[in-house]
Amino acid sequence: MEGKLYDAAVQGNKILLLDLLKEDALLLDRFITGRYPETPLHVASMLGHLEFVDEVLARKPELAKELDSHKSSPLHLASAKGYLQVAKSLLHVNPDMCLVCDIDGRNPLHIAAMKGHLGLLKELVHTRPWAARALMDHGETILHACLRCNQLEVLKLLVGRDSDPEFVNYKNQDGNTILHLAIAAKQTEAINFLISSTPIDVNCVNEDGYTALDLLSQNQRDATDKRIVDSLGRMGVTHARDNPLSNSQLKAMRTKILLSPWDQSNVISKPKKRKHGKRLIISNKNGDWLERKRNTLMLVASLLAAMAFQAGVNPPSGVWQDNGSSGFSSTESNGKNHTAGFSVLADNYPDVYTVFLISNTTSFLASLSIILLLISGLPLRRRFFIWVLMVIMWVAITAMVSAYLACIIALTPDQSNSSLISILVIATRIWVCLMLILLLGVGHTIRLIIRLVKCLHKLVVRLVKPKSPRPRV
């Protein structure tokens, strides 16, 4: 019966599958409880038989997480062949299979990227975006795999979705970034893309102490080397050492970088000590900066919103408990009558209450705006959007400080604690100045300004640079 089921999977024969299940209703269960090199779902996924796959998944969705003798799931095989609809069916049943690695330490996203299946890769990244951050064996990222397999379009897609400098500049076990790999392989288009459109560190050195420019020959270089050197020179790339590499050193270094890690293990007699876990995720090493910021902003915004709401419905000094004369001796009140439920502070200090109300409302609305943006599902995973949220948070905190100051001024008698109020005012001003320095002085704003200047510079250069005349036919 198992042999007939395998034949049905090879043919994609759904009718034969149903006939076999009528004869033996537990036929598919045996592939879950038994030991088989592969299941019929593996075969059908590898051959792209969508109807057969859907029928098997409808009856036994547990088969989607079964692994073959190479620890490959059906999603691995569908990703390798580029069957998008089959992959969608498998993802619908068990999307966490994006995180499962085969015997070579590759998950389905790695395989789809290495094969250049853009549409399938988009679906996988959309389903489990953090799977793209998983490391393969020997500490290489999915970006390293793209460079090794010369998949420039896939590289552009992945960097466009996640341009975190930590991700782009990640080093493998030899300390080589994707720029080292691109230059060692002389992939000119990839080099130009990396140095012009990504936050790649062009002067990063590997474990041997060589920058990307050191990998290029200084003597007898060909036209490709000259173009690469010119591109790197415009970006301010320098040598790691004063003396350039010799031709023999250059050849040995390029061979070392271009060899896959599995080939290196056969060539090198004494393997290096591994520095990375087999399935380490980058975000777990130094922490996902963006995710931490999102969680922190959500927590602080929720706290500020609760504080502002509580202060709004229960204003300082409370509310009048009955109707009658205020009995306040100040000339500002002029003996006005008060109404039960109205704010005491609004009657006694209308100007201060106005400042308090404006500041408290501003803090409340700013906090709600942060919460709404974070739970809206918008793609706020870029540093620019996080920077905008941090500015809004700064506004909310500053407004809350202003509301606090207004309350302290209104609740403290001037004749007894005027010096204390002056100290509070000075301390508050110093704190606001410190917030301005932090906001304008940290690297977020500086990097934003630098990027804007670079974009404007490139735009001006493109507009000013004369177009070369077209050759006549």
In Å, what is the CA distance from 361 to each residue of 176, 276, 308, 373, 394?
Answer: 52, 50, 7, 18, 15
Confidence of residue 253 (pLDDT cuts 50, 70, 90): low
178's CB contacts (< 8 A; 6+ apart) are: 141, 143, 144, 146, 147, 155, 168, 194, 200
Using alpha carbons, select from 176, 118, 102, 182 the residue that is nearest to residue 148. Answer: 182
* pLDDT 10s digits, 300-341: 888 888 888 888 888 887 777 777 665 444 444 445 677 777
Mean pLDDT computed over 147-169: 88
Nearest to 33 by CA among 4, 6, 2: 2
The SS3 assignment for 17 reads helix
Q: Which residues of 84-113 are buried (b: 16+ CB within 10 A; e: fewer)?
A: bebbebbbebbeebbebbbeebbbbbbbbb
Mean pLDDT on 374-399: 74
Detail the DSSP E strand segments found in 252-356: 324-325, 337-338
Residues with Cβ within 8 Å of 150's Cβ and at least 6 positions away in sequence, in order, are 185, 187, 190
CA–CA distance from 138 to each of 74, 218, 264, 445 (Å)? 24, 31, 11, 36
What are the structural domain ranges in the chain?
Answer: 2-285, 289-459
Question: What is the pTM assigned to this prediction?
Answer: 0.53
CB atoms within 10 A of CB 171: 21
Q: Report pLDDT for 473.
A: 37
Q: Tell me the C-alpha distance between 355 and 75, whole Å.
A: 60
Q: Sign (positive/negative) of CA torsion 224, 225, 226, 228?
A: positive
Read off the pLDDT of residues 49-100 as tens digits, 9 standing for 90 and up.
Answer: 999 999 999 998 999 989 988 899 999 999 999 999 999 999 999 999 999 9
- H-only helix segments in 442-468: 443-464
175 CB burial (10 A radius; 0-12, 13-18, 19+): middle
Please tell me the predicted confidence (pLDDT) of residue 5. 85
Q: Note the pLDDT tens digit of each residue in 65-75.
A: 899 888 999 99
Residues with Cβ within 8 Å of residue 309, at least 6 apart in sequence: 364
Which residues on adjacent β-strands are paired with residue 319? 343
How many residues comprise the chain? 473
Beta carbons of 177 and 205 less than 8 angstroms apart: no
Q: What is the CATH number of domain 2-285?
A: 1.25.40.20
Instruction: Write the single-letter amino acid at 274.
Output: R
When computed from its CA atoms, the radius of gyration of the chain, rounded to whole angstroms, is 32
- The residues, ordered by sequence, that sit 6+ positions from 376 with a Cβ below 8 Å of its Cβ are none
pLDDT digits (tens, 9 = 90+) for 183-234: 888 888 888 888 888 888 888 888 877 777 777 644 445 555 556 656 555 5
Nearest CA among 81, 78, 15 for reference residue 41:
78
Q: Among 16, 71, 69, 65, which residue's Cα sits nearest to residue 41? A: 65
Helix (H) or strand (E) holding 289: helix 289-313
Mean pLDDT of 395-412: 81
Percent of the chain with pLDDT over 90: 18
Evaluate if residue 277 carries a pLDDT over 80. no
**Mean pLDDT over residues 165-184, rounded?**
86
Distance CA(131)–CA(153), nearest Å, equals 19
Token reading at 364: 């409340």
Highest mean pLDDT among 105-119, 248-262, 334-348: 105-119
